[in-house]
Amino acid sequence: MERAHNFFAGPAVLPLPVVEETRDAVLDFANLGVSIMEVSHRSKEFDAVMLETQKDALDIMGLSADEYACVFLGGGASLQFAMVPMNFLAKKADYVITGEWATKAFKEAKIVAESVKAEAVKVASSEEANFTYIPKELKWSPDADYAHITTNNTIYGTQWRTTPDVGAVPLVADMSSDMLSRPLDFSKYSLIYAGAQKNLGPAGVTMIIVRKAWVEEKARKDLPTMLKYKTHVDKGSMFNTPPVLPVFVVGRTLKWIRAMGGLEAIGERNEKKAKMIYDVIDAYPEFYRGTVKNPEDRSRMNITWNLPTPELEDLFVSEAKKRRMLGLKGHRSVGGCRASVYNSCPMESVEALVKFMEEFYRAHK
């Protein structure tokens, strides 16, 4: 089967070798004669998958298993919007609002804050400019229980290029759409969560990386069992039946990342792919109107632009689809066009898109 050029924002493109390995495991997992979808999560074969996936994640991030736990949960990043404040908000938490998902995380924090007589603080926001930049003037609260950022914004095409300095305050990040896309000092974070369906695997599982000591020392003890991070850290993500198939796919994707050369190589590749598209946008600024003007704020994962008219945007998406380029329509809330070029997006797909953008410009300028 000839693969289409997949630019969907999520669920998104997976590495072809991972798709093929998953196909085989769906038919026969570990030579057991049963599917990965049928195997007991308590079997030694799946237990090995879970343990290896957790180890690979921490190894790739350069984190110690003595200090950090890798946990896999359902509920997507949306559940984490509530779980983080439920576990750690006692008096005050700082939030930077850089897009729709950061807004939703803040909304959940405010609900929790009201119930525990605490405060969720909006440190900064780029809403007044339709979230087209990352705020620079930040006044963090030195006494906050934690500070929260959303590292990449799929809808508006912005990305934190550096990790903010929040002092001794625990830093929490939603990395759903740029997780493991570049080298970072992950030890600066006390908790990272990421829905898998953009850069790690399929929909249905969320990866959480959390500092164990923070859970032990600061997390609330009076929560329902399933909503306590300690439950899942202590049980190694096996307190209840985990999403077996998605965890398997994440595990294979992590091995693919290592085979590609790790985060250094992945980051260089992602920079190159994004630059190819931004170069076309910058070459024809009156035609391809990039929504994020400051190069320092531009996402390397989700590249957004407008054309002179909505009709031209519809034509662009339609003509691209005829060339088997899928997912180029912008998010329904903002319109325009968007190319999501996650880790697994092949260079060949980006080359095909750039060529099409050049041709479309010449035909319709």
Q: Find the angle CA(89)-CA(93)-CA(97) to the nearest 5 degrees.
A: 130
Exactly one of 56, 94, 145, 174 is catalytic; name it.
174
115 located within any domain: yes
The parent domain of residue 323 ranges over: 262-364
Domain assignment of residue 10, yes or no:
no
Show which of 259, 276, 293 is a domain's final residue. 259
Active-site hit among 94, 101, 145, 230: 101
Instruction: Give the mean pLDDT per block of 10 residues along the chain (365 residues).
Output: 94 98 98 97 97 98 98 98 98 98 98 97 97 95 98 98 96 98 98 98 98 98 98 97 97 98 98 98 98 97 98 98 98 95 98 98 96
What's the confidence (pLDDT) of residue 100?
97
| Per-residue pLDDT, 229 | 98
Q: Specify whether 255 is located in the same domain as 266.
A: no
Residue 59, pLDDT score: 98
Among residues 56, 160, 178, 198, which one is catalytic? 198
The CATH number given to whatever domain includes residue 291 is 3.90.1150.10
What does the pLDDT read at residue 1? 74
Choosing from 259, 276, 307, the residue where a domain stops is 259
Does 325 lie in the same domain as 208?
no
Do 140 and 178 lie in one domain? The reply is yes
Q: Is residue 66 among the annotated active site residues?
A: no
Together in a domain, 234 and 292:
no
Q: Residue 247: its pLDDT value, please?
A: 98
> Which one, of 190, 176, 134, 180, lies nearest residue 157 by Cα?
134
Please report whether residue 1 resides in a domain. no
Q: Clarify whether residues 241 and 270 are in a common domain.
A: no
Answer yes or no: 198 catalytic.
Answer: yes
Whether residues 182 and 328 fall in one domain: no
Both 148 and 279 in one domain: the answer is no
Quote the number of domains for the chain: 2
Residue 77 belongs to domain with CATH number = 3.40.640.10
- The verdict on 234 and 334 lying in the same domain is no
- Where a domain ends, among 228, 259, 290? 259
279 and 134 assigned to the same domain: no
